[in-house]
Structure 1
Amino acid sequence: MTNEPIIEVIGVQKSFKKGDRQELLVLDDIHFKMYEGEIVAILGKSGSGKSTLLRIIAGLVKPSGGTVHYRGRPVSGPVRGISMVFQTFALLPWLTVLQNVELGLEALGIEREQRRERALKAIDMIGLDGFESALPKELSGGMRQRVGFARALVVNPDILLMDEPFSALDVLTADNLKSDLIDLWQSKQTGLNAILFVTHSIEEAIAIADRIIIFGSNPGSIRSDLKVTLPFPRSDLDPRFRNQVDRVYTLMTTQPQEEKLQQGFIDIGYRLPEASVAEVTGLLEILNSPEHQGKMDLPDVAETLMLDIDDLFPLTELLEILRFAKVSKGDITITEEGKAFVDADILERKKLFSIHLKKFVPLARYIYDQLIRHPRHRALEENYLSLLEDYLSESEAERVLRTVIEWGRYAELFAYDYNSGVLSLENPH
């Protein structure tokens, strides 16, 4: 390993315009270095800007501020030496496997004979020998993603960037492809000097990477940079592997968003988590069961409910917002209020949920107060959407409003007519 970084990201920021409104900051002040011989994972929740950062490093997206250097030179567009594997297979359906793999070489102006030779070697290396003349529609998802890998590797890249390359695959296929990738990396057949990949799976990051960069969200920023020193092959049954999983959960659950939450600071424009009342109730019932006695390890919760971090964290965040549970150091503990909710009958649960919703979710309280004040106790959802768009992107504003309407309807705080988009009080008082 040389002392010179192969990739250096310096103060990168990225904002997206929100129509005529202010800009939405997606990435803020990202600094990190990556060296030869490393596999680095960028781990974070969906929407934290991980994929945007990867595209900036690849030269596909320009940063709003800061710079990226590849081997000491600034990246201002796609760079020879950096290849990328995307989440979707992105194959041209009318071309055969061989032709799809040859595409990059053709763009580089490589002669036909050499192009064919190199493409066949890459296809063989990635385990697709015998499928050279097949069209993408004849291949399974795993085989199509292997074509994506072959296409990225055939140009002999210095660095391979991967954007959630296994997320569209079933578990067995993904595990197969991961172990083949690690074998290829260790055999040094590919000439690769570094791999940088994005994931929202904690186990995937620990299984593959030497280093894990943990992203916080709103806006995306680096929370932790963690070394993984476990020897290969890594097994998720190894106690050391489980310790690493616990460690990452702990780091991911002590974030500024949660710190703000603990200080009681959430405003009308807060990016509320997408979690349903049924999920909240289900997790509280599991926590409160004699088996767990009010406390569980987050990795155990994820395993019990078969949730990844994109489903688990919104759920635990909502429990914290409503004060039904507390998350600390990778554990979740039910509160007295959470116990009271679980022990109550259906009508009492609705009442308790309504009280906590009005008390701790400013947007729900605001909608309710507005409906109380209106002479006919009615309002169009458009009013609240335009209010939220001062804080959030259009799609996020819609998601947040849809979520809070679902909670409000369960709590019988207000009613909603889907066809007219009208919110109203069921029992004005």
Structure 2
Amino acid sequence: MADSSKLSFLIVGSGGREHALANACVNSPLVSRTIVAPGNPGIASQCECVDIAADDIEGLAKLAADQEINFVVVGPEVPLTLGLVDKLQEKGILAYGPRADGARLEGSKNFTKEVLLKNKIPTGAAASFTESAAAIDYLQTASMPIVLKADGLAAGKGVIIAQDLEEATQTVKDMIDGAAFGEASKEVLIEECLFGEETSIHVIVSGEDYVILPTSQDHKQAYEGDVGPNTGGMGAYSPADLISDELMAEIERDIVIPSVKGIAAEGIDFRGTLFIGLMITKSGPKVLEFNTRFGDPETQVLLTRLKTDPVQIMLAAAKGELAELKVEVKDEYAMVVVLASDGYPGSYPKGEVIDFPAEVGENEIVFHAGTKFDSEKNVVTNGGRVLGVTALGPDLKNAAEKAYALCDKISFKSKYLRRDIGFKELKRQD
């Protein structure tokens, strides 16, 4: 018989982030049962999966009620912006993740920029447009390169860095007049291009209480040397020694605290993850974006480095008990390398059988992201980012060696990966 004091857990989503969350739940002494909807083959090897889409708000809320779920963790941004947490709370079900008003910080880049500017939080100058003619007039006076962002959610693809006026003008026309990203680009934010090194921090927020998780750095560009089109992330590592103790103190004082207080001042009772994308410029750290959920692939390295049970942290945030919690971190480095389908983030093949090694080493794990079962129950590719190969080590070089050695033991026909994840950090450490 299950321990009645333990939680029945539901995780919403199907990617590498959700596999990392499911793995944390399965290993938590606080959890008796974990269901993931819709999940993926890697998650299914550890816990129960139910085929309900992440954007099926009514279906997910019914599942949680029918299965007597105690606690729901919402992985992706879409169900958050659609109000899944609101719906769960109406049913008296505790959830980790912001309600729709808080998820708007990711669902609208313009809203985030307003919050940043209102609270004097360091960020790039920007202007918002719904008509292409006015936007093009603005571009005539702007410095190049320049960043153009679809206001709404665009599956991680709604940000274009235009190198010159011609490209910027065409991008504006494509976004506003051509609806390049559908409704998401009917309003466009034109933003100063910040230069420096990009990093991110994850802040667990519960009202005006917060805990800053370990630092990490993602690699967005598709190709080695940080070139090529932006992706959802080709790999990440933690900690990012780019952020010194002194710099973290500055980030906390000038960015984290005013962000948490500013969000609360909007009347938003935010309980979830505030992902703050940063550019470390010559004049200091500046905010690139807010997301309102764990990053992917950063989650794969962050959760593996936590000594404190991640379930305990999320539960405390949802209950408003975060101020009482001390979060401890392992004194190890972690790296995740994404195995992608060649062609991503453009068109790519699907349905290729994946060959896995019989065993993986200690402190190594393969998180599934874009996989599914075929009719013969083979695990096959089903996305641009297929797997997140993750390893822990006493230093970054060791973690990288282990992760890449495991990558080389996995095969599928169109396998593509960057072999330079963490290259700037490794150079700094040499």
Name whichever structure is richer in helix by fraction.
Answer: 1
TM-score by length of 1: 0.25
Q: Write 1 or 2 for the structure with the bigger share of strand.
A: 2
TM-score between the two structures when normalised by the length of structure 2: 0.25
